[in-house]
Amino acid sequence: MPEILGQIQLNWDFVLGFLSIVVIDLILAGDNAVVIAMAVRTLPREERKKGIIFGAGAAVMLRVVLTFFAAQLLQVQFVKFVGGLLIIWIGIKLFIEGVPDEEVQREAKTFWQAIWVIVVADITMSVDNVLAVAGASGGNLFLLIFGLGLSIPLVVFTSNLLSMLMDKYPIIIYIGAAILGRVGGEMMITDPFIKEILHPTEFLQYGVEIFFTVGVIVAGKLWLRMQRQRQGKIPEVCENNENRGA
């Protein structure tokens, strides 16, 4: 095995790092799988699997690049805050596009639009994830590459499962949006600048996470309600104009 990949030794440190990375990937794959499943849900069935594989692959490739900057990025003020806002916006957007509502006419999402959402969300959410895998690898490049590579099949499998379940049980869309709201809130409240100014306690952090967990769904519902009202007024205006012309 080339030295550049790191040493593979069956000692306690290597085995512990290996197991830690597997557990980390299992835990952290959930958030990313939620984004991917919600992003591809409105695509035709034949394009969903391709979108999941392509999106997960592109996201993991970008994680490799992020690995070299993760620790530094987490210390830059406002990076996590802006990232949290972006995740909250994506959560609202995916909720609006995915939740069943026959009264609202939606534009069909293209394959590349779905991929763009997946990549942007994954980059935003993955700084902490990459740092966790990098820490568990203990500087062993083989373990680091293994951890990043293992996340691909985990995310693909979970995304496929979630996208199918969302068709049968729309309540999962609500749960997915709520998860993204919590992730966004947690990123914002743990930003270095916010921590320096507010010195948030655990109670405040949990409060912010709960607020955005509920807020994403409330904001999505309000937007859908405004869309129903807006689209409902268009036929009335057309009908009045036709009556006046007559």
Q: What pLDDT, in 10s, does the model give residues 194-206?
A: 999 999 999 999 9
Give the whole-number percent of the chain exceeding pLDDT 90. Answer: 15
Q: How far apart are CA 84 and CA 190, in angstroms?
A: 10
Q: Using 50, 70 and 90 to split pLDDT, how confident is the model at 113?
A: confident
Tokens 């992020």, residue located: 66
* Higher pLDDT, residue 143 or 245: 143
Task: Look at residue 215 in the predicted model and tell me its pLDDT.
Answer: 96
Cβ-based burial of 108 (10 A; exposed 0-12, middle 13-18, buried ≥19): exposed
Identity of the residue numbered 234: I
Q: Using 50, 70 and 90 to split pLDDT, how confident is the model at 219?
A: very high
pLDDT of 218 above 90: yes
Q: What is the mean pLDDT of residues 13-24?
A: 78
* Higher pLDDT, residue 38 or 108: 38
Let me know: does 59 contact 123? Beta carbons within 8 Å.
Answer: yes
Q: Using 50, 70 and 90 to split pLDDT, how confident is the model at 3?
A: very low
Q: Using 50, 70 and 90 to split pLDDT, how confident is the model at 207?
A: very high
The average confidence (pLDDT) of the chain is 79
Q: What is the mean pLDDT of residues 175-203?
A: 90
Q: What is the mean pLDDT of residues 102-116?
A: 70
Q: Determine if the pTM surpasses 0.75.
A: no
Q: Using 50, 70 and 90 to split pLDDT, how confident is the model at 4?
A: very low
Task: Look at residue 1 in the predicted model and tell me its pLDDT.
Answer: 39
pLDDT of 98 above 90: no
* Higher pLDDT, residue 39 or 22: 39
Contacts of 115 (CB under 8 A, 6+ apart): 51, 54, 55, 58
Tokens 């499998």, residue located: 157
Q: At 176, list the tokens.
A: 């997915």
pLDDT of 68 above 60: yes
Q: Using 50, 70 and 90 to split pLDDT, how confident is the model at 74?
A: low
* Higher pLDDT, residue 204 or 27: 204
* Higher pLDDT, residue 218 or 135: 218
Q: How far apart are CA 200 and CA 111, in angstroms?
A: 40
Let me know: does 18 contact 146? Beta carbons within 8 Å.
Answer: yes
